[in-house]
Amino acid sequence: MVRNVVARGAGGGVPARPAPRDTAAGGRRAAGGPPREAGVAMTATHCPYCALQCAMHLEPGADGKLTVRPADFPTNRGGLCRKGWTSAELLSTPDRITAPLLRTGRGGGFREVDWDTALDHVAGRLLRLRERHGNDTVAVFGGGGLTNEKAYLLGKFARLALGTSRIDYNGRFCMSSAAAAGTRAFGLDRGLPFPLSDLGGADTVLLAGANPAETMPPMMGHLTAPRLVVVDPRRTATAEHALEHGGTHVAPRPGTDLALALGLLHTARGQGMLDTDYIADRTTGFDGAWEQATVWWPERTERVTGVPARQIRAVAHQLGTASRAYVLTGRGTEQHVTGTDSTSAWINLALALGLPGRPGSGYGCITGQGNGQGGREHGQKADQLPGYRRIDDPDARARVADAWGVDAQTLPGAGPSATELLNSLGTEHGSRAMVLFGANPAVSAPDSARVRERLAALDLLVVADFVLSETAALADVVLPVTQWAEEDGTMTSLEGRVLRRRAATLPPAGVRSDLEVLRGIAERLGQPAHRFPSDPDTVLAELRDATAGAPADYSGATPERLSDGEELHWPVPSGAPPTPRLFLDRFAHPDGRARFSPVEYRDPVAETGGDYPLIATTGRLMGHYQSGAQTRRVAELAEAEPEARVEVHPDTAARNGLGEGQWARVTSPVGTALARVRLRPGARRDTVFLPFHYGGEAAANNLTGSAALDPTSRMPGFKATAVRLDPVPDD
């Protein structure tokens, strides 16, 4: 069964709540009913973690701490996962920072200072570095968990207050391949171009490289009716759920998704399953895509992927005969150096079957981070301006410059991608300072040991955070900022729905919002105060103006409409209804047609054999989120998953002298990671799995490389790294 496996214990200082029960959705439902006491202040808001953005109510408990109660909402329908239930505990973590920290000399410790001292120090250092080395000597790094207002103002801060082109964010490690492939095919990227609830009416849903049973448990409530086809090298909780309910688990060799999608397209055509009228009426470029698929008959596909030819034929037939079908991709398909083409291959299959833009069917990408969708729309990505406007488009530059009250010529151009930006820090041609909000690249970035070295080599590292994360611990200045339940703002969920985040409690004394921090630094850099407002609604009003007429048009997303609970899926132009379902009449290309992409299979895995006979793939656990900087500080979650693991088939473990519970050293050509062995009889014998939620010697991204990147999305290869396993002595 798909469920949370750890029951609530009595310890850990977690507020009491009604006894939960497991649900088919894999989340936990409250005992139900209205707020417990009439008159008790209650705040309606959304979970701080994934892009499902489950709705919840926050209420003050008898001890003054907030308690969580799930809300009935279209995405989570009254359920929450373990992370959501415990989310309020994070606000009172004992090691929370409540005063700015200033490092006492190179290699020294931190001392607390007042805000004026901290901001004066930051601005003074930035000004001197820019005078000496130019504007691009300062880099900015953001995150997919920042609100729309923060992401927007961070991009504006980089390009106006600093004048730097060097800004990117951790979404480059998450959604960039799907965004590139979606834009290439449809002319527009929105993770799910339809409401999540549409999935429940499908006959078949194919999930390629997605594991929502662990990463987004309440989403599984929308996947109980369809027969699932789960494409994943691992026998995940989602794959188990599929098998228990009459579905299929397809387990390709890591990195061969593209070949599998080509094989399914070849097979579907051979079975007469393609929608030829749809291809003729609504698409272009099929012949080029088919040319690449012609050589991928099922038996050849089996030799490359390891998926039996009979299973390939069965899946193609199931998709082709379904009256309502969806193809959904996730990180397993996208986080490769061939991620854009792999995603395009699945889109090609969906287009050939006539799914995108058809009521009751479609293609979508399951966005991961809480504001992964909005975070990439509003200007913290190296090549984009607010509203999904391209920074190299003269008209887009002019429109945004007009909204900002500056000359378009003053806006810098596109900068390097996140990986290239991080790898160049402190080098001759890289930035010498970085200002960082909402990310922990010391754990989340590829070749993280190298990233830690690059961060340590900077002349100035400024980190806005609420704890000393692994990245903040390397900083010269740490600025304590508000958290999700202490601030207002908007988020955009995986289905493109703009949501209202509301403050439920005051932040600790001495803590400021990210918007206030940006304003404080910008003013000290000589910017007029009005250019960097610190009120979220004021920033939203400016964002609405800057995105009017853009692909991601938020001009109609007013506080009043958000407060009324209207479902505002973008584009939502001012004076017009929102757009819950895209592409029903036409796609976003000028001719209204979707584009097939001719994609050729290339193996993204470094050659295995010799010193590195196995493939390591990385991913998430149910109990943790992203780099773990938040969830490792929640008692229940930390107790359930206290240490890094490496999941290994028993035969593979035995060949390497390893047993259950033993510590192993996992080594790649890039680095090493320590993890405790978990035996998994359902695992592939050539593949091991490590979660990426842990830091230091346990960081899975110590293994992943950063030299090779996807040529389009600049995505590094997280999902397929050649490794070996060695026992570690007990001491």
Q: CB of 118 within 8 A of CB of 459?
A: no
Residue 497 lies in a domain: no
Question: How is residue 216 written in tokens?
Answer: 């987004």
Question: pLDDT value at position 606?
Answer: 66
- Whether residues 123 and 246 fall in one domain: no
Residue 380 lies in a domain: no
Residue 563 lies in a domain: no
Please provide residue 84's backbone torsions phi and psi, each rounded to the nearest 5 degrees: -65, -45
**Number of domains, the chain:** 3
- Whether residues 358 and 454 fall in one domain: no
Measuring CA to CA, which residue among 576, 573, 531, 574 is closest to residue 551?
573
CATH number for the domain that contains residue 230: 3.40.228.10
- Whether residues 200 and 339 fall in one domain: yes
Range of the domain at 631: 614-727
Residue 233 lies in a domain: yes
- Whether residues 299 and 265 fall in one domain: yes
- Whether residues 239 and 272 fall in one domain: yes
Residue 106 lies in a domain: no
- Whether residues 698 and 674 fall in one domain: yes
Rounded Cα–Cα distance for residues 142 and 69 (Å): 30
Residue 307 lies in a domain: yes
Of 551, 568, 603, which closes a domain? 551
Query: pLDDT of 416-455, one tens digit each?
Result: 999 999 999 999 999 999 999 999 999 999 999 999 999 9
Measuring CA to CA, which residue among 503, 357, 373 is closest to residue 52?
373
CATH number for the domain that contains residue 517: 3.40.50.740
- Whether residues 546 and 677 fall in one domain: no
- Whether residues 326 and 191 fall in one domain: yes
Query: pLDDT of 549-608, one tens digit each?
Result: 999 999 999 999 998 878 899 999 999 999 999 999 999 999 999 999 999 998 877 677
Average pLDDT of span 453-466? 97
- Whether residues 200 and 262 fall in one domain: yes
Query: pLDDT of 231-279, one tens digit each?
Result: 999 999 999 999 999 999 999 999 999 999 999 999 999 999 999 999 9
Rounded Cα–Cα distance for residues 431 and 464 (Å): 18
Question: pLDDT value at position 5?
Answer: 26
Report yes or no on whether pTM surpasses 0.85.
yes
Q: CB of 173 within 8 A of CB of 444?
A: yes
CATH number for the domain that contains residue 681: 2.40.40.20
Average pLDDT of span 33-51? 70
Strand partners, 608: none
Residues comprising the chain, all counted = 731
- Whether residues 321 and 199 fall in one domain: yes
- Whether residues 270 and 349 fall in one domain: yes
Query: pLDDT of 179-189, one tens digit each?
Result: 999 999 999 99
Residue 589 lies in a domain: no
Residue 490 lies in a domain: no
Question: pLDDT value at position 2?
Answer: 30
Query: pLDDT of 510-560, one tens digit each?
Result: 999 999 999 999 999 999 999 999 999 999 999 999 999 999 999 999 999
- Whether residues 131 and 193 fall in one domain: no
Count other C-beta atoms under 10 Å from residue 265's C-beta.
Answer: 28
Please provide residue 645's backbone torsions phi and psi, each rounded to the nearest 5 degrees: -130, 160
Of 504, 524, 551, which closes a domain? 551
Measuring CA to CA, which residue among 476, 636, 472, 432 is closest to residue 5?
636
Rounded Cα–Cα distance for residues 596 and 487 (Å): 43
Across 28-120, where does the E strand assignment appear? 28-29, 43-46, 55-60, 66-70, 79-80, 101-103, 110-112
pLDDT band at 367 (very low <50, low <70, confident <90, very high): confident
